[in-house]
Amino acid sequence: MLTIITLVIFAVLMLRAAYSDLSSYTLSNRLCLGVALLYPLYLFALYMDGHGLSMAAILMSLGLALIIFIIGMGLFALNLMGGGDVKLMPAVALWAGAGHIINYLFITAIVGGIFAVIIIVRNRRNQSKYYKSSENINLSVTKITESAVPYGVGIAVGGLYVAYQLVTTFSGNLV
């Protein structure tokens, strides 16, 4: 039962991440840390329910999360990814493990890409709106628009997929 509770909390954190990124373009350190620190509780709950993961599976999850974090740091250094996204992606990758990492990354990329296209279309539409920079000078200047992409939504949707997969994997034996 504790396993299901930790998965529900994980799903709620994913919903919170999506809402936070959509509303303020931020993924707090507390949220990212909460997702990461809930994972050991999940492992403990699995163990207590008789479904503990092997040390190899746990180390694989940690390794994959580390690789994703290192790649994310590179993307952050190139100003291609936000800091919250860089921290949340590996935290969710812990949960995905080797069994769900490919689908998690795929879903995250697709949903993030959809949001990027929406932002691009919105920005192009807004660029057609001009205003005069001065009443005395007849110059047109494009309106500056926000071009940030709330990629945390894609990460959260990928995380919800992982939570669903983990619930369906273990729910028959846990409830």
pLDDT in tens, the chain (175 residues): 889 999 999 999 999 999 999 999 999 999 999 999 999 999 999 999 888 899 999 999 999 999 999 999 999 999 989 999 999 999 999 999 999 999 999 999 999 999 889 888 888 887 755 554 444 444 444 343 456 888 999 999 999 999 999 999 876 654 4
Residue 50 confidence (pLDDT): 87
Residue 126 confidence (pLDDT): 76
Residue 141 confidence (pLDDT): 42
Q: Which residues contact 8 (CB under 8 A, 6 or more apart)?
A: none
CA gap 156, 88 in Å, rounded: 9
pTM of the complete model: 0.84
Long-range contact set of residues 32-35: C-beta below 8 Å, sequence gap at least 24: 32/84, 32/87, 32/88, 32/91, 33/91, 35/10, 35/88, 35/91, 35/92, 35/95, 35/159
With contact defined as beta carbons under 8 Å apart, do 59 and 67 qualify? no
In this structure, how many other beta carbons lie within 10 angstroms of the beta carbon of residue 172?
A: 8
**Interior angle at CA 164, CA 54 and CA 57, nearest 5:** 15
Domain assignments of the chain as residue spans, ordered by start: 2-174
Residue 4 confidence (pLDDT): 93
Q: Where do we find the tokens 């954190």?
A: 13
Q: Where do we find the tokens 């926000």?
A: 146
Amino acid letter, 166 = L
